Structure formats: C-alpha cells, structure tokens
Amino acid sequence: MSAPEWIARSVSRLRSTEKSEGKRPDVQVQRSSDAIKTGAAEGARSTRERLQATLRRKQEALSPRVLRRTLTELQAIIDPQVSEIEGGRRAMRVAGWYAGAAPNERRDMWLLMSEQFVADAQKTKLAQAQFEAAVGTPDEAVAEVRYRRATVSPRRRLLQRFSAFPDGIRFLVDLRAEMLPHLKSDKRLQALDVEMEYMFSTWFDVGFLELRRISWDSPASLIEKLIKYEAVHDIKSWSDVKNRLDSDRRCYGFFHPRLPDDPLIFVEVALMDEIAGSITPLLDESADAADLNKATTAIFYSISNTQGGLRGVSFGDSLIKRVVETLKEEFPRLKTFATLSPIPGFRGWLGKNAAAMLEQLDDKARTALGRAIGFEPPTAAHFLGAADNVLALPDKSPVRLMLLRCAARYLGQAMEGGKPADAVARFHLGNGACVERLNWAGDPSPKGLKQSYGLMVNYLYDLKRLDRHRALLASGRIAVSGQIKPLL
C-alpha cells in the first residue's frame, strides 16, 4: 500500500471515529472556519488549561478529551523506546489526521506542538548554573555540552520524526505556510515557528540543494510550476513561458532531494548586449531572440520564492552566485551582471513622505513644480495626484524629475531597522549589489504603475565590489552609482 493510500485510509477511520462521537462534520467545519479568526482572542485558554478541563469553550475546536488524545499521539512519536522508523510511522498517522482536520482543529495541533514540547525549565536552569560555574575551568567544555543539550526542546525531536516519512518534509513546509498568517494574532505559536525556521535552515542548507536549469524541454509539470509560482511578472500563457525559455534566456532553480519536483526558488535571466531599462521588450513574445555571440550582459529580471513555509530561510544570494558562475562558464564574454527590478514599496513610502520631500526643495525647484502641477505652493496631495499621470509626463517635466528624486531617496537612503526599506532592495543590496540606475516607465503595466509609478531599477552585481558594498550597508549606508548620486 502506498503512503497516500495509507493516509487516506487513516483519515477515513478517524472521520468515522468523529461521527461516532456525535459530531456533525458540516457544522464542525463551519465552526472551525469561523473560530480560527477568533481563536486567539483575549481570554483564550492555554493548552495546559484545556488539557486539565472537562468541557470545551465555545471558540475551542477540540474538546479536552480529544485534545488529550492528540497530545498522547504526538508524545508517542518521540517515545524514546521506539525506533526512528516506528516514530516516522506514528508521525505519518498524525499527518493523516491533520489532512482531514478543519482549520481550527489544525490550529489546536499547532498550539500543542508549541506549548507542550518545551525544554525542561529546571534542568535548563541547573545546567546553566553549572556551566557558569565551570567557565575558566577544565570542566567548561563538558558543562557547555550539558547546557546545550538541556536547552534543546522535545519539539525539535518531534519535527525530526515528522521529517522521517516519505512526504514528511512537504507536510512540515505546508504546515508552516498555513500557520504563518496567524503568528501576529497568536503569539503562542511563535515557539513552534522559530523551531521550524531553525530546522528548515539546516535541512535546506544550500549545500544540500541542486542547481538545475529549467528549459522548454523540461517536463511539462515543471514548467507549470513556473507559471504557478512566478511572483514578479505574471506568466499569461504557454507562449509567454516559451518566450522566457527561448535560446537567449536562461532559467535556473534550486531543488531539494526531498522535494524533487518543486523548485524552491528560481531566477529568470535575459542575455543581452546592454543593461535593460524596460521589462516590455523582455516580455515581448514577438521579438527575435538576441544574438548570443554578442551577449555581454546577464539581466536577472525575475526571482521567485515558491514555498511560503520556508520564509526566513535564505538561499537567494547563493542562487545568484551559482547562476553567475554557471553563466560565465557557458558564456565567457559575459562581463556585466545586473537586475531589472521592481520597486514594490515606493508608492506606499511616497504617500507617507511626499510632504517631507517637498520641504527639501529649493525655491526655484518648488516654483517650477508648482507651475507644472497648477498649484502654488505645491502640496503633497497635488503632487501625488499629478504623479498618477506618469506616462503622459514629458521628459523635462518637474513632476517627473521630482518622482525620480523621491525614488532615488527611497532606494539610496531610506532604512528601516538598519536595513533598506524596500523588500527587493533589501535582498539585492544585502547580497552586495549597488543601486545602478533608475528607469522611467520601466514597467508601464497596471501592476508596475500601482507599485512604483512605472519606475524600475537596475541593481548592479560588480563581482569585485560585493564585499565592499555589504560592509558599507552594515555601516548604515547604501552603495549607489554616479547616476543616482545627483538625484539624492
């Protein structure tokens, strides 16, 4: 019997058990769908309180009796008397129950895993005291080992057992993806989330990942994944994806051996003879393929993470480095490696900072802007209103110049928590790139206009300056080119 068949049988049995307990599945699912929105409301009981209770409260999905049974099944997975194989089988049975559970029933399992599988506080405190006392003595190393072991929670062992059955890694990644949206409203889940992020960072280390090229000759199921997961520029048709996999293009993805059919992250590359300033020709299905013999520049125009459950696990920087190495081997003439990137946070930032930007203008620039807008002195509201008509602005329009200045300030100076304010900038600048060039009407699509008034940016990966740029960012400054500095 295959694993999916086994799980389906287990789910069927568990559902039969629920019916024998007098549950109405349709009512239960509706109750769970409503309750997951309010399950973390003020006054919600901890799983510790619920396990000791007799009756459940209205917003609670599992009764105390079923909650105790579920906890017993989870604890049985990490029973020290059972083997790894048997532990994996028990984990698969619980995964089968989870597959058929309603949303709020799943949330109860998350809470059990987060609150009931913690390190022993007394043992941890004792081990810490012994370690502190041993510092500087011959027993320091042994005491440190004991302290480290004492701080490891049983939750980690539980996750390891879940990963043991064939689809266990996929199960855990999907579980975390489903749980992440609820972290802000229910802080009790944070312990489980942090543990999972730590484990995933180990299991999905780049040393275990395989870089594979995705081409038009790849299996159709894999190409369908590109269409599904593309997060930057939506793929509209099969001819669209074929254009992105043409002879002058390359697409690479990182794959994990336990998820062999799903790229964890993939990057789309255009091979050209110059840095691209607009996404439109790159997505033009009727355009002829570029001459690879003249290609000197690799443009990374889309990078998409595919697994929401792997949030916080960083392998994008390694992907770019590996792709650069692979491209240089295939095309020795390539000298320039840059991106053509969106600026997704710009419109939102400008909406909050337009007034402050206007205050920094000198009298001449403020007067010119006011005349162009038709309102003197110009206000933030009038400037933002004029900016909405970006595609009709002439080259020398003061409104256009002001937008470019604001975008340069946003990308070249705006920081949040010591990091670049824009999410895409944070990724590329953190990898050692610099802000190279702003491109007017780089993305005139509705999405591009909504995000950044159509502006796009090139981040340049100068392979000789990556470490220098990272060090500059660590000091609180952003690396920008000579084309950007006059706009600041």
Catalytically active residues are: 341, 428
Would you mind telling me the total number of residues written for the chain in this entry?
488
Peptide linkage before 166 cis (omega within 30 of 0)? no
Report helix, strand or coil for 43.
coil
β 297-305/336-339 pair status:
parallel
8 vs 3: CA distance, rounded Å: 9
User: Which one, of 249, 248, 213, 244, lies nearest residue 230 by Cα?
Assistant: 244
5 vs 276: CA distance, rounded Å: 51
Report helix, strand or coil for 101.
coil
249 vs 299: CA distance, rounded Å: 9
CA–centroid distance for 18 within its chain: 37
Question: Are the CB atoms for 15 and 97 separated by under 8 Å?
Answer: no
Q: What distances in angstroms separate CA 75 from CA 46, 154, 194, one per listed residue?
A: 18, 9, 20
What 8-state DSSP symbol labels residue 377?
A: S
Query: Residue 320: CB partners within 8 Å, gap ≥ 6?
Result: 267, 300, 303, 431, 461
